[in-house]
Chain A
Amino acid sequence: MSFDLNFIGILIGAIMASSVPLILAASGELITERSGVLNLGVEGMMIIGAISGFALMVISDNLFLAVIGSMTSGLIISIIFGVLTQSLLTNHVATGLALTIFGIGMSAMIGKNFVGIPGKEFPLLFVNLKENIPFLGPILFGHSVILYFAFLLPFLTNYFLKKTKIGLIIRAVGDSPTSASNQGINVILVRYSCILYGGAMCGLAGAYLSLIYTPQWIENMTGGRGWIALALVVFATWSPIKVLIGALIFGGITISQLHMQAVGLRIPVQLLSALPYIMTIIVLVVISRDSRKIKLNTPTSLGQIFYKEK
C-alpha cells in the first residue's frame, strides 16, 4: 500500500512540475491583461527566455546568471511590444502575433549552435526529505527553487492586485484608462511596466523548460504552452488563484496522457497528445458560455488602444 501511495505522490509531483511554466507565464500575462493590454506574444517571449537561459548556462556555466538572463531577455523582447502598442498605438492582437513569429525565428537563429548540448543539473531542494517521507515527500520536496516560487506566485499576485495601491492602480487602468488618466495616473507608464513584467515572467517560464524540465535546447520547444497559458488566463476569469488550479488541471492532463502512452493503451498516441488542446477548447466553451460571468471579470479596456490627447 505504501508503494502505491508513494507512486501517487510521485505522479502529483510530476503534475506540479509540468504546470510550472503555465503558472509562471499565465501569472505574468494576467498582470499585463489586468492593465488592459492583450499580449499574444507569450509563446514568443517564452521561447526567447528558453534559448537565452540555455545559452547563458552553456556560456557562463552559471545557473543563477542563466535564470536572471532569461528573465531579462523576456523583458527586453517585450519592450518591442510595449513601444509598438503603447507609443505607436498598434493593434494588440497583430503585434502579439508578430512577436510570437519573430520570437520563434529569433530563438532558432540564436539556438543554432546550442542544439544537442546536454544541459546541466539544476540543484533541487530537500532531496533527502523527498526520499524519506512516503507520499508527501515527492509532492512537497525535491523540487527546484523556481517551482516553489511558481506555486507562491499566484497568491502573491492575488495579494498584490487586491491589497496594494499599485495593484489597485493597475486594475483601474485596465477597467477605465480614461478615468484613471483623469485621476493623474500615467496610464502608458503603468501599461509599459505590466508588459515588461509579463515579459520577464514568460522568460522565466521558458528558462524552466530549457534548464529544468527538459534540460536541453530543441527548436520550438515551448510547443504551444504559451498559447495554453493565454487560454488559462481566460479560464481563470482573470483571477490568479484560478490560474493555479487551471495550470494543475492542464499539468494533470499532460502527465496522464504521457502515462497512458507509456502503459501502452490501445489509443493512438496522437489522440492522447491532442488531449490538452481539445480540453482547452472544451474548458473555454464551458467557461465562456455564461457571458455575464466573463464580462464581470474581464478588464473592460482589454486590447483597446489608449490615446491621450495632448
Chain B
Amino acid sequence: MIKIEKRNDVSPSIYFLTPILAIFLTLFGGGIIFFVLGFNPLEALKFFFITPISDLYGFSELLVKATPLCLIAIGLSFCFKSNNWNIGAEGQLIFGGIVGGGVALLFYGHDGFYVLPIIILAGAIGGMIFAMIPAVLKTYFNTNEILVSLMLVYVAKLLLDYLVVGPWSNPEGFNFPETRQFSESARMPTLFDGLRIHAGIFITLITVFLSWLILYKTYLGFQIKVSGLSLKTAKYAGYKGKTMIIIVFMISGACAGLAGVGEITGPIGQLHRNISPDYGFTAIIVAFLGRLNPVGIIFASLIVALTYLGAETAQIFLQVPKYTGQVFQGMILFFLLGSDYLLFFKIKFLGLKKNEL
C-alpha cells in the first residue's frame, strides 16, 4: 500500500538531492533509448559520458562548453527567480556576438591591451539591449515575454546570417559565409598551450560571485526573490515591479551577450553562421538543474556540458546524430521537474493493515 502525504515544509537535503536523482534517471532512460536503437547501452553510455573526459584535452573541452552555459544560466536565474520567462537567451547571445564581433572587426589590425575589454563590453551591452526589447514590451504593452524573446532568436539568427554573407564577409574569403579572423589583440587568451580553455572562464566565475552577492546580500536580490514567490506581496511592499522586470532582463541579457562574445573571441575567433550550438536554450536546463543557485549552476553546467561532448563522441563512435545531446538534456529536465514532486509530497510504503484487508 502506498500512501502520499503532503509535506509541511521542504527539506533542504531533498532540494539538492533530487537533481542527482534526476541525473541517474536520465542515464537509465538514455540506456533504454540506446538499447532500443540497437546499441549496447552500457558501452553507449560509456562513449557518451566517460570517454569524452578521459584525458586532459577532453576535460579542457568540458570547461570550454561549461563556460558559456554557466554564464547564461546565472543570468537566467535572475529572470526565473522573479517569474520572468526569458527563453530567448540564444538570441541575446547571438546579438551580443554580433555587436562584439562588429567592434572586433572595427579594430581589425589594431594592437593594444584595450581592444579586448572594449569588445567584451560591447558584447555585454549588445545582449543587454536585445534583452530589453521583451522586457520593455512586457512592462509597457503587457506583451508575453516568452513569445517575444523567442521570436527575437530567429531575428538575431537571420541578422547574423545577413551580416556574415553580406557586408561583413571576409573580403579575401572566397564568399564563404564568415568574417575575417579577428586580430590577436581581439582574442581571448588561452590558459594552456594546446588546450582551448580560455580566459572567459574567469568572466564566468566573477559573474557567479557577483550574482551570489546581488541575490543573497543586497536589497535588490531580496526584492527579486520576493516577487518570484508572491507578486502580491511585492506590490504590497511597494517594490517597483516594472523597473525590476527590466533590470533582471538586462542582467540576463548582459550575461548571454558576454557568453556570445566569449565564444567568438575565444574558441571561434570570427563570426560565422553557427556561433552557438543552442547554448542559450540549453542554459535554461542548466539554470533549473542548478536550482537557480549560483553554486548549483556551476555543477549543473559541467554536467550539461558533458552531454554536448558526449553527443560529439557518440556521433563519431556510434554514428548517432549530434541532436542526441538534446534528448538527454530534455530528459534531465523532465526527470528533474518530475522528481520535484518529492519536495512537496512524502511517499510512504506501508504494509497492509489488518482493518484494510
Q: Could you tell me which A residues sit within 8 Å of B by CB distance?
A: 40, 80, 83-84, 88-91, 93-95, 97-99, 101-109, 111-112, 219, 224, 227, 230-231, 234, 268-271, 273-274, 277-278, 280-281, 284-285, 288-289, 291, 294, 309
6 new A-B contacts, CB < 8 A, other than A95-B337, A289-B142, are A108-B324, A224-B154, A230-B147, A278-B151, A281-B147, A284-B147
Binary contact readout B65-100 vs A (1 if CB under 8 angstroms, 0 otherwise):
000000000000000000001010000000000000
Whether A112 and B321, one on each chain, are in contact in the complex, defined by CB atoms closer than 8 angstroms, is: yes
Q: Which of A91, A98, A273 has the most CB of B within 10 A?
A: A98
Chain B contacts for A289, CB-based, 8 A: 141-142
Chain A contacts for B329, CB-based, 8 A: 101-102, 105
Contact pick for B162, options A104, A268, A284, CB 8 Å: A268
* With A101-B330, A101-B333: A270-B162 Cβ-Cβ less than 8 Å: yes
A98 to B334, CA, bound (A): 6
* With A88-B341, A105-B324, A271-B162: A93-B151 Cβ-Cβ less than 8 Å: no
Chain B contacts for A109, CB-based, 8 A: 33, 37, 320-321, 323-324, 327
A40 to B152, CA, bound (A): 17
Whether A268 and B166, one on each chain, are in contact in the complex, defined by CB atoms closer than 8 angstroms, is: yes
Q: Which 5 A-B pairs have the closest CB atoms?
A: A102-B330, A105-B326, A108-B323, A98-B333, A105-B327
Smallest distance from the beta carbon of B336 to chain A beta carbons, Å?
A: 9
152-194 of chain B: CB within 8 A of chain A = 152, 154-155, 158-159, 161-162, 165-166
Whether A102 and B161, one on each chain, are in contact in the complex, defined by CB atoms closer than 8 angstroms, is: no
Smallest distance from the beta carbon of A100 to chain B beta carbons, Å?
A: 8
A22 to B103, CA, bound (A): 40
Instruction: Tell yes or no: B251 within 8 A of A by CB.
Output: no
Binary contact readout B2-34 vs A (1 if CB under 8 angstroms, 0 otherwise):
000010000000000000000000000000010
* With A108-B323, A274-B154: A89-B330 Cβ-Cβ less than 8 Å: no
Smallest distance from the beta carbon of A263 to chain B beta carbons, Å?
A: 19
Chain A contacts for B333, CB-based, 8 A: 94-95, 97-98, 101-102
Whether A90 and B147, one on each chain, are in contact in the complex, defined by CB atoms closer than 8 angstroms, is: no
16 contacts between A and B (CB under 8 A): A88-B341, A90-B337, A90-B341, A93-B85, A95-B337, A98-B334, A99-B330, A101-B333, A102-B326, A109-B33, A109-B37, A112-B320, A112-B321, A277-B155, A281-B148, A285-B137
Instruction: Tell yes or no: B288 within 8 A of A by CB.
Output: yes
Query: Whose C-beta in chain A lies nearest to the C-beta of B328?
Result: A105
Smallest distance from the beta carbon of A179 to chain B beta carbons, Å?
A: 21
Whether B330 and A103, one on each chain, are in contact in the complex, defined by CB atoms closer than 8 angstroms, is: yes
The bracket for how many chain B residues form the interface is 35 or more
Chain B contacts for A230, CB-based, 8 A: 147
Instruction: Tell yes or no: B247 within 8 A of A by CB.
Output: no
A294 to B143, CA, bound (A): 10
Instruction: Tell yes or no: B338 within 8 A of A by CB.
Output: yes
Contact pick for A94, options B161, B324, B337, CB 8 Å: B337
Contact pick for B87, options A89, A97, A268, CB 8 Å: A97
Whether A95 and B334, one on each chain, are in contact in the complex, defined by CB atoms closer than 8 angstroms, is: yes
A136 to B186, CA, bound (A): 61
Instruction: Tell yes or no: B325 within 8 A of A by CB.
Output: yes
Smallest distance from the beta carbon of A253 to chain B beta carbons, Å?
A: 13
Chain B contacts for A274, CB-based, 8 A: 154-155, 158-159
A94 to B281, CA, bound (A): 11
Smallest distance from the beta carbon of A191 to chain B beta carbons, Å?
A: 17
A98 to B37, CA, bound (A): 22
268-316 of chain B: CB within 8 A of chain A = 281-282, 284-285, 288
Q: Which of B152, B325, B334, B341 has the most CB of A within 10 A?
A: B334
Smallest distance from the beta carbon of B231 to chain A beta carbons, Å?
A: 13
Chain B contacts for A95, CB-based, 8 A: 333-334, 337
Whether B158 and A271, one on each chain, are in contact in the complex, defined by CB atoms closer than 8 angstroms, is: yes
Query: Whose C-beta in chain A lies nearest to the C-beta of B165?
Result: A270
Query: Whose C-beta in chain B lies nearest to the C-beta of A98?
Result: B333
Chain A contacts for B330, CB-based, 8 A: 98-99, 101-103, 105-106
Chain B contacts for A281, CB-based, 8 A: 137, 143, 147-148, 151-152
Whether B162 and A101, one on each chain, are in contact in the complex, defined by CB atoms closer than 8 angstroms, is: no
Smallest distance from the beta carbon of B137 to chain A beta carbons, Å?
A: 6
Query: Whose C-beta in chain B lies nearest to the C-beta of A287?
Result: B143
A93 to B147, CA, bound (A): 12
A89 to B330, CA, bound (A): 18
Q: Which of A107, A231, A271, A277 has the most CB of B within 10 A?
A: A277
* With A90-B337, A101-B326: A288-B142 Cβ-Cβ less than 8 Å: yes
Chain B contacts for A271, CB-based, 8 A: 158, 162
Contact pick for A84, options B33, B144, B334, CB 8 Å: B334
A107 to B33, CA, bound (A): 13
* With A98-B334, A99-B330, A109-B323: A288-B150 Cβ-Cβ less than 8 Å: no
Instruction: Tell yes or no: B107 within 8 A of A by CB.
Output: no
322-357 of chain B: CB within 8 A of chain A = 323-331, 333-334, 337-338, 340-341, 344
Smallest distance from the beta carbon of A251 to chain B beta carbons, Å?
A: 17
Query: Whose C-beta in chain B lies nearest to the C-beta of A220?
Result: B323
Smallest distance from the beta carbon of A25 to chain B beta carbons, Å?
A: 14
Chain B contacts for A97, CB-based, 8 A: 87, 281, 284, 333
A108 to B331, CA, bound (A): 15
Chain A contacts for B150, CB-based, 8 A: 224, 227
Query: Whose C-beta in chain B lies nearest to the C-beta of A230?
Result: B147
Instruction: Tell yes or no: B146 within 8 A of A by CB.
Output: yes
Smallest distance from the beta carbon of B91 to chain A beta carbons, Å?
A: 10
Chain B contacts for A106, CB-based, 8 A: 327, 330
Whether A234 and B323, one on each chain, are in contact in the complex, defined by CB atoms closer than 8 angstroms, is: no
A105 to B282, CA, bound (A): 12
A234 to B142, CA, bound (A): 12
